[in-house]
């Protein structure tokens, strides 16, 4: 009968979870040796695995010091690849293990080794006297060894990499939320400041108090739920602040603000080069990705290359290179939240302009940067014009292209 488990040395008790883990490892090793593990190989690059485990450490309840001990243990295995189909026993002395663990004390080492065993990442293979050593044959090959078995770590490679992927996605989402919160805080504060300086009518003191309650340093340990609650509260406050500010504008001021962009478009009189946007009658039609076709009420006459030349800033908010109009739509949907454009305003714009038309408009607003004080209010105004057939995205893109040719937009 093949040995399934070894009991711990000394006064340590043999527990059910230890026995179950050792039995499960033995069964998996037998399956892999028979080639019945589907796509599993039972092996992994130890340095890549340690990196993934560092990212996924919260899933296993590991601290940086516990990971340091595990890294020290794996360094005693000479091969870069951990092959979990067989025991991978390392047998360092306490002195050597302490040195490779940055001088960690024996008591601290024992505590972190116990945590690694509890997490199921290593197993003890204790000798009769508790010493760690190996016996070699006449040719120098290891016959038997006692110490710590790294096979469980190798066999958990798939699970560890999956947890690491989840952790990376969460970190990316947290980063995006933190950035969005920071932008909302800045934009709300500057709008309130402008209203005070311009002596606009409205409950600006109340708005300032609400902003103060939502301000403050964003903790690095903040959870997703807390960040979402803070972002949503800021978004509601921003919508109220922008609405109040817009309502305080006189008809003359509103007309002037709305026409700034359009006046620039009408005054633009440029010669189109081969790489710039040509007149509508000679431009190519957009052909959306057929697998993710976007429903449009009108065919747009603008190439993706021309669009990206006019609105390069949008690419900075896409994880990969923008390769299709579908990528443009998804990226614009993300960017509109950062610009403070509410879901309601975004939905109305998409219905009035079409999904691509709304995406191109948001990209153009992003490209104009601080020229547009209230992106949400500006988009709502353009949406109203689009609903009555008085708005087209082409003049906006032409104007942006003209600015880039003249070097007026900082890149």
Tell me: pLDDT of 176 over 90.
no
Give the Cα separation of 225 and 406 in Å (integer): 46
Shortest CA distance to 189 belongs to which of 167, 164, 166, 215? 215
Backbone angles phi, psi at 9, to 5 degrees: -75, 155
H/E element holding 395? helix 393-406
Give the Cα separation of 359 and 373 in Å (integer): 19
Tell me: pLDDT of 53 over 90.
yes
Tell me: pLDDT of 266 over 50.
no
Give pLDDT tens digits for 95-138. 899 999 989 999 999 899 989 988 889 988 878 777 887 787 77
Give the Cα separation of 268 and 17 in Å (integer): 75
Stronger pLDDT, 289 or 108, i.e. the higher one: 108
Specify the pLDDT at position 252: 66
Tokens (6 digits) for 356: 């691509």
Under DSSP, the state recorded for 102 is T
Residue 261 C-alpha from the chain's centroid? 34
What is the residue-averaged pLDDT of the chain?
A: 79
H/E element holding 41? none
Tell me: pLDDT of 78 over 80.
yes
Sign of CA dihedral 291, 294, 299, 300: negative
Specify the pLDDT at position 225: 87
C-alpha dihedral over 31, 33, 38, 39, to 10 degrees? 140
Give the Cα separation of 123 and 152 in Å (integer): 7
CB–CB of 53/63 below 8 Å? no
Residue 55 CB partners (closer than 8 Å, separation 6+): 163, 164, 167, 168
Specify the pLDDT at position 116: 92
Q: How confident is the model at residue 36 (pLDDT cuts 50, 70, 90)?
A: low
Give pLDDT tens digits for 291-344. 333 434 344 567 888 888 889 888 888 777 888 888 899 899 888 887 878 888
H/E element holding 149? strand 142-149
Specify the pLDDT at position 268: 39
Give the Cα separation of 64 and 115 in Å (integer): 12
Give the Cα separation of 171 and 222 in Å (integer): 11
Q: How confident is the model at residue 284 (pLDDT cuts 50, 70, 90)?
A: very low
Shortest CA distance to 405 belongs to which of 272, 264, 267, 263? 272
Stronger pLDDT, 409 or 112, i.e. the higher one: 112
Q: How confident is the model at residue 274 (pLDDT cuts 50, 70, 90)?
A: very low
Q: How confident is the model at residue 271 (pLDDT cuts 50, 70, 90)?
A: very low
Give the Cα separation of 262 and 100 in Å (integer): 67
Residue 179, CB-side half-sphere exposure with 13 Å CA sphere:
12
Residue 115, CB-side half-sphere exposure with 13 Å CA sphere:
18
Tokens (6 digits) for 178: 């933190």
Give pLDDT tens digits for 346-396. 999 999 988 889 999 999 998 887 778 788 888 988 998 888 888 888 888
For range 162-185, the mean pLDDT: 89
Specify the pLDDT at position 164: 94
Q: How confident is the model at residue 198 (pLDDT cuts 50, 70, 90)?
A: confident
pTM for this structure?
Answer: 0.55
C-alpha dihedral over 132, 135, 139, 141, to 10 degrees? -50
């Amino acid at each position: 009968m093949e040995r399934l488990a070894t009991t711990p040395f000394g006064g340590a008790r043999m527990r059910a979870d230890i026995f179950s883990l050792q039995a499960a490892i033995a069964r998996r090793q037998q399956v892999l040796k028979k080639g019945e593990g589907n796509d599993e190989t039972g092996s992994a690059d130890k340095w890549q695995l340690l990196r993934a485990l560092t990212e996924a450490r919260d899933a296993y309840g590991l601290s940086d010091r516990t990971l340091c001990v595990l890294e020290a243990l794996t360094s005693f295995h000479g091969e870069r690849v951990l092959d979990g189909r067989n025991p991978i026993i390392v047998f360092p002395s306490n002195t050597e293990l302490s040195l490779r663990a940055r001088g960690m004390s024996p008591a601290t080492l024992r505590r972190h080794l116990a945590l690694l065993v509890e997490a199921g990442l290593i197993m003890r293979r204790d000798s009769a006297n508790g010493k760690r050593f190996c016996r070699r044959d006449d040719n120098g090959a290891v016959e038997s060894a006692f110490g710590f078995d790294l096979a469980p770590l190798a066999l958990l490679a798939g699970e560890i990499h999956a947890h690491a992927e989840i952790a990376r996605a969460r970190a990316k989402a947290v980063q995006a939320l933190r950035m969005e919160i920071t932008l909302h805080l800045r934009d709300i504060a500057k709008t309130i400041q402008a209203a005070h300086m311009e002596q606009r009518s409205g409950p600006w003191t109340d708005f300032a108090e609400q902003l103060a309650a939502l301000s403050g340093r964003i903790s690095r340990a903040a959870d997703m739920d807390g960040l979402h609650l803070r972002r949503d509260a800021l978004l509601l406050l921003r919508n109220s602040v922008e609405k109040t500010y817009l309502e305080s504008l006189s008809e003359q001021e509103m007309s002037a603000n709305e026409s700034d962009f359009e006046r620039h478009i009408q005054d633009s009189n440029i010669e189109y080069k081969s790489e710039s946007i040509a007149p509508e009658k000679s431009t190519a039609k957009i052909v959306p990705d057929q697998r993710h076709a976007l429903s449009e009420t009108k065919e747009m006459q603008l190439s993706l290359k021309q669009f990206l030349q006019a609105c390069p800033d949008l690419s900075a908010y896409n994880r990969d290179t923008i390769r299709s109009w579908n990528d443009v739509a998804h990226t614009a949907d993300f960017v509109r939240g950062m610009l403070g454009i509410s879901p309601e305003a975004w939905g109305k714009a998409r219905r009035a302009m079409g999904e691509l038309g709304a995406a191109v408009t948001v990209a153009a607003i992003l490209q104009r940067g601080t020229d547009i004080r209230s992106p949400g209010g500006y988009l709502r105004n353009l949406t109203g014009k689009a609903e009555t057939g008085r708005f087209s995205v082409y003049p906006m893109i032409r104007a942006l292209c003209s600015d880039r040719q003249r070097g007026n937009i900082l890149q």
